[in-house]
Chains A and B, each alone.
Chain A
Amino acid sequence: MAVLEVLQYPDPRLKQVSVPVTLFDARLRAFLADLEATMRAGPGSVGIAAPQVNHFLRVAIIDVSSKPKIPQHGCLRLINPEIMQRAGELKGREGCMSVPDYTGTVVRAQSVRVRAQDADGQWHEFDCEGYEARAVQHEIDHLDGLLFLDRIVSPRHDLFRRKR
């Protein structure tokens, strides 16, 4: 297991679109372990995507279990993830290991249904909401070459959040 180097914007490789995983082998499992170690080494990081460590495969890991009292699935290792459904909208602050010293306000779907394969190639579905859903959308964006910088909105525009 190794902590990998994290690419930082303006590295153009972060804008690259990643390709689906086709081989569910020992190398993939070793990469997942390295990717997770890299995420846990990043202070406060709750997610990571393969292109952030210069691997252009559709792989992301999300683990928001360090945050108390929120709906979550523990450590999600998502391979070839796809968002099947989105509902609602929510503003929130985001930062990124690939964009140091900047955080911004981003509007994300309040809840998402995600379909992804596990390390053995089996498909699973997850219903994520709130903070976890935000992390899932942020990481899947990386697989499509998108950063949260592509989605920032002015925090001043909407003085009041809609009451739900």
Chain B
Amino acid sequence: MSAPAKQDAQWHMLTVVGTDRPGIVAKLTEALFRGGCNLGEASMVRLGGNFSIMLMVEGTNATALEQLVQPVTDALGLRVHIDAIHGGLHQHVEPNVQVTVYGADRPGIVAQATAALAATGFNILDLNTTVGGTASQPIYIMMIDGLAAEGVATVERAIAPLRTGGIEVSVTALDTMIG
């Protein structure tokens, strides 16, 4: 991250996906830095052995951005997707509820849980899920942070029916301590 981004900066969301190996982030960001780009928020995660990153980039247009990263992504066999995005930095929303769900893996867990949350107006701010356990007995684990406009009790009531059928659900109020 170099100079502070301008208020009217045009941000792009750069998404890069491919087989994971050490050094991808270093090579990508080196190319962006040398090309005069500025980075904003980013999230990299390894999903099923695949590298994935979403990176806010500012300082150039979509065509130039693609050309900047192409030598790296070609060399490493990565796929790239670029979108111009609205919005920018300093727009964090503080979650007030955390929902954790786990159980024996079966189709529909995410759809059912998130439908119950959406029905209350719950806004998911951060979600990650994974499959643990063994190949013969997989367990699905999901953790969600979000904003429940109507509070934790409403979320608890909405999600309680999921508990039938062997799914464990816990709803916890998040109270950020500001000091």
Query: Which residues on A are within 8 Å of B, measured CB to CB?
Result: 42-49, 62, 67, 92-97, 101-103, 131, 134-135, 138-139, 142, 148, 155-156, 159-160
Contacts and interface: CB of A to CB of B under 8 A. Distances in A.
18 contacts: A42-B178, A43-B178, A44-B176, A44-B178, A46-B177, A47-B179, A93-B177, A96-B178, A97-B179, A103-B176, A131-B177, A134-B177, A135-B179, A138-B177, A138-B179, A155-B145, A159-B100, A159-B130
Contacts of B176: 44, 93-95, 103
B94 A103 contact: yes
B6 interface: no
Nearest to B45: A156
A139 B145 CA distance: 26
A45 B92 contact: no
A53 B142 CA distance: 41
Nearest to B174: A93
A159 B175 contact: no
Nearest to B92: A101
Interface in B155-179: 174-179
A94 B143 contact: no
Nearest to B141: A159
A93 B176 CA distance: 5
A46 B92 contact: no
A131 B175 contact: yes
Contacts of A49: 179
A44 B176 CA distance: 9
A67 B128 contact: no
A139 B92 contact: no
A73 to B, nearest CB: 15
A44 B179 CA distance: 9
Nearest to A60: B179
B148 to A, nearest CB: 15
Contacts of A67: 175
Contacts of B177: 46-47, 92-95, 131, 134-135, 138
B154 to A, nearest CB: 17
A35 to B, nearest CB: 13
B106 interface: no
User: Which of A42, A139, A156 has most chain B Cβ within 10 Å?
Assistant: A156
Contacts of B94: 95, 103
B34 interface: no
Contacts of A138: 177, 179
Nearest to A103: B176
B176 to A, nearest CB: 4
B90 interface: yes
Nearest to B95: A93
A102 B176 CA distance: 11
A138 B143 CA distance: 26
B100 A94 contact: no
